[in-house]
Amino acid sequence: MDVLAKKLGTTFCNNAVFTIFWKNDENWSVHHVSKNIEQLGYTPEEFISGDLSYAGIVHPDDREKIRHSVLQWDWKHTPCLFQECRILDHKGDVHLVAKFLRGQCDEKGTLQYVEETIVDITQNKSTGSFPVSENDYLRNAVNTAKEALLFLDNELKIIFANRAFSRLFLTGSSAIEGQSLYAIEDGQWNIPALQDRISVLLKDNTEFSDLEIESCFSNIGQRVLLISSRIVNTLNNKTGMVLLAIEDVTDNKRSARELKTSEAKYSALVEKGNDGIIIVQRDILRFINSKFLELTGFQEEEIINSTLLDHVPVDFRRMLAKRCAKALKDERSIKRNYEVDFFRKDGSVFPAEVSFSFISYENDPAVMITIRDIAERKKAEMQLKNSEKKYSTLVEKSNDGIVIIQDDQLVFANNKFIEITGYTLAEAIGKNFTRFLSTEYRRMFVGNSGKKLGKRNENLLKYEIELLSKVGKKIPAEINSSMIEHEGKPAYMAIIRDITEQKTREKELLKLIEVRKVLENVIESSPAIVFFWKADDKWPVEFVSENISQFGYSAKEFMSGTILYGDIIHPSDLQKIDRGLSRYFQEDENNISLEYRILTRSGEIRWIDERSVIKRNPEGEVEYLQGIIVDITERKNANNFMQICSELDTFFTPTTDVKEIFQQLIELVTQVKGIDCGELYLVDEVTGDLNLVAHKGLSFRFVNSTRRYAANSLHARVLKTEYPIYKLYYEINSMTHGIDLGFEGLEATVILPLKYEGNIVAVIMLASHTEYAIEQNTRSIIESIASQVGPSIGRIREQVHFQKDLNNLQEIFDRIEDFLFVLDKDGCILHTNSFLCKRLGYSHEELVGLNILNVHPQNRAIEIAAALADILAGKLSVVRIPFESYIGELIPVEVKATRGNWNGHTALICLGREIKEKVV
């Protein structure tokens, strides 16, 4: 934050910019303040320790105004607030400041903290003049905001966009300022729903919030956005601006879809249970399993989203509502079970025993109610009361343990109880019943039975206990007890049900829910892509995780069969993979590990590490493969980088194409961490001019603006400094007083002189579009490379006669008015003539090293890749797939390709001509 504040301060009229984070309490106690508060004579420690508060430095006449505005601030619908006020420095002098406020709330929605970005505008106010637009102060403030913000004038022309907007849409603010909102990005913001809401905003000053739109943007692809807007005033409150606050919710939408898909997998356990299960949220049935439908006779669509209490008689509604409310309030399950009658579809009722468990369902608190049909048990209990004869038979045949306890002694036990505990009947009868209970439940049982005996209560008392078997095993059980007369004396009858299976299912369900949460988080954040492949030709895909989108494809395309997995494998690797899989299949190996290349939708080549498992049927035949793939392109590049660095002398051989060497050099250096673009200049031995010979990662406009610098130019003198220069690009650009190249968005930059025998023979400029500083480790690497490359370039320049021969050969190629180019076996352009460059609108340096897929339409990338494989295999010699020029023009061509050698390696020599036919 301090670095950003310092940078903003130097950028906007040297105004002091600092941030302060204070709590919305009586004194506005400070939790964080930027270090440059020292400009006012304070130290951050004074605020953090509590010796000073924010209210203590605000001018007394302004405190109530600020307190009132914060109290009235509808921060939920107005994400930011602009104010002017006065603050006091350590000496008591008054400073006029402009403030940008953002709020943070607690879980109840109460405003707890305020974060302010403050600009000291005292000097400008005192002089009565602003050397820059007032909007620059807003720009200064909102550039620290995390939200993507866009400011428009009343004609909907863009005044400026903050950094969060630029990062989200991969575009510089300066590139869109002054343009109509609906004209930027080729009209991608020309969305009817957005137009309607903004029209109402301008007409009636009616702000809007959370307008959801979905659109495809050229730089970032398909996105789902939430847009809020209102009219705000500038610091002088004279002119109004339209503020758009934009939130990208694409990932949240995708996660919701994945969660919905996964829920089906975990519902199987619930559906297979013997008990009815329903999930209730806000008294509404949100989930019903098949067992509950079987018990009630309803169809799911008849009762889903109905009210829970409508399904029970009036006598049970209050108790049911209170139990659900308690489970939600305590956020835990209720151990005790209850008896409730439920309605069937035909109007009849059936008795059920219910338990209440607190769960999270679809990210909201809910109550899961387990419903066991106890009609049979109720019937048995009634028969026990009404018929002594039936009592004995039913007890012995019951699926529940039944015991009678008199004077704390077990005087009767049925066969089921004996089976559960493992005792013989002779061993059990006469024992104190607490001996059958685990220690922690003995006191509970004695207390409950004592109350029942004391009150002569004949109603059932139900609760959970743990039985202790003969061998010491703890058995979860549910006990239903009542008072009876046994042999003329009061006794205690208990029906004991073994609930081990129920408890196990509950634990498994909770565990599965936790596992599901973990899996969702892992898949969402993991670079690994999960695949299930059929063991058929070109590996049709049965399942693929949604993060396949990192390669430009959707999971739906694979699972529908529109794209087969074999379609995206690099043609040169297909045969190798086929051989590898055949060996795994034949040798009964089940664990596969392969490295190969695939093509992204945009035609980019990526290296993949596949780890998969072969699944076979009982006969040993392969049914399918399941596994993951991980993009290891960066690791491959790192390995190549280490290899090239260790063999630079071999890399710079005079027999290699010089332009290819220079392009490979720039490709090599831009692989270093923190570097994403660069330019290489050669110093003209005669004139001393700097001429661009290779570049990467820069726009065509930028390259054209920096192709050559005269020897006596300020640019050349800066670039030919005797030592490395590490600065932000705008600082270097300001040193040269040249044209403004800020549109490129470069940040951290280094200029390295390359020397040979004490003289500068070349200069390399490296930069990053995202990093603000180059790490020390990166500096060491690129300076080491520079020290080795300089002498190599010097020796190459001494091979003048070799370069002349190369130039003569290039002259012959350039006079041919057909498309002449050379490809390696991976489809990369090794050489081309000027006619092809001119027709496609690229420079020679841009084409050399580019994959041929990139000069064809993206929707035909797989087709051209297959054609290259057929040419290499000798199956095809003529290709009729149109080129796509730099400006997007489709050029119908016929290309004849022949296998040959180029620099000792297999290559395709291609000769093409433009044909007169309509391109579809």
Distance from C-alpha of 58 to C-alpha of 64, rounded to nearest angstrom: 10
Correct CATH for 1-145 of 3.30.450.20, 3.30.1490.20, 3.40.50.720, 3.40.50.300 = 3.30.450.20
Enter the tokens of residue 190: 């020309």
3-state DSSP helix/strand/coil % of the chain, to nearest 5: 40, 30, 30
Question: 537: buried, middle or exposed (CB in 10 Å: 19+, 13-18, 0-12)?
Answer: exposed
Cα separation values, 390 from 376, 379, 383, 398, 749, Å = 14, 11, 6, 12, 94
Q: Domain 637-798 belongs to what topology?
A: Beta-Lactamase (3.30.450)
Distance from C-alpha of 557 to C-alpha of 546, rounded to nearest angstrom: 11
Structure confidence at residue 801 (pLDDT): 44
Q: Domain 377-503 belongs to what topology?
A: Beta-Lactamase (3.30.450)
Helices (H), 699-738: 700-705, 714-719, 729-736
Q: How confident is the model at residue 362 (pLDDT cuts 50, 70, 90)?
A: confident
Q: Of the ranges 148-162, 446-460, 808-822, which one carries the lowest mean pLDDT score?
A: 446-460
Q: How confident is the model at residue 893 (pLDDT cuts 50, 70, 90)?
A: very high
Q: What backbone torsions phi and psi does residue 780 show, to the nearest 5 degrees? A: -60, -40
Q: Of the ranges 21-30, 236-245, 289-298, which one carries the lowest mean pLDDT score?
A: 236-245
**pTM, to two decimals:** 0.29
List beta partners, residue 367. 280, 358
- Residue-wise pLDDT for 468-524, tens only, equals 888 888 999 988 888 888 888 888 888 888 888 888 888 887 777 776 666 656 665
Q: How confident is the model at residue 264 (pLDDT cuts 50, 70, 90)?
A: low
Angle at 458 between CA 453 and CA 462, to 5 degrees: 85
- Residue-wise pLDDT for 855-872, tens only, equals 999 888 888 888 888 888
Distance from C-alpha of 171 to C-alpha of 153, rounded to nearest angstrom: 20
Question: What is the mean pLDDT of the segment spanning 406-414?
Answer: 88
Averaged pLDDT of the chain:
82
- Residue-wise pLDDT for 769-787, tens only, equals 999 988 887 888 888 888 8
Domains 272-373 and 526-622 share a fold: yes
Q: Of the ranges 470-484, 639-653, 669-683, which one carries the lowest mean pLDDT score?
A: 639-653
Residue with tokens 């890749």: 865
CATH node for 526-622 = 3.30.450.20
Structure confidence at residue 352 (pLDDT): 94
- Residue-wise pLDDT for 690-705, tens only, equals 899 999 999 999 998 8
* Domains of the chain, residue spans: 1-145, 146-248, 272-373, 377-503, 526-622, 637-798, 804-914
Cβ atoms < 10 Å from Cβ of 105: 13
- CATH homologous superfamily of domain 804-914? PAS domain (3.30.450.20)
Correct CATH for 146-248 of 3.30.450.20, 3.40.190.10, 3.40.980.10, 3.90.1150.10 = 3.30.450.20
Structure confidence at residue 317 (pLDDT): 93
Enter the tokens of residue 221: 């692809």
Q: Is the CATH code 1.10.10.10 the one for domain 272-373?
A: no
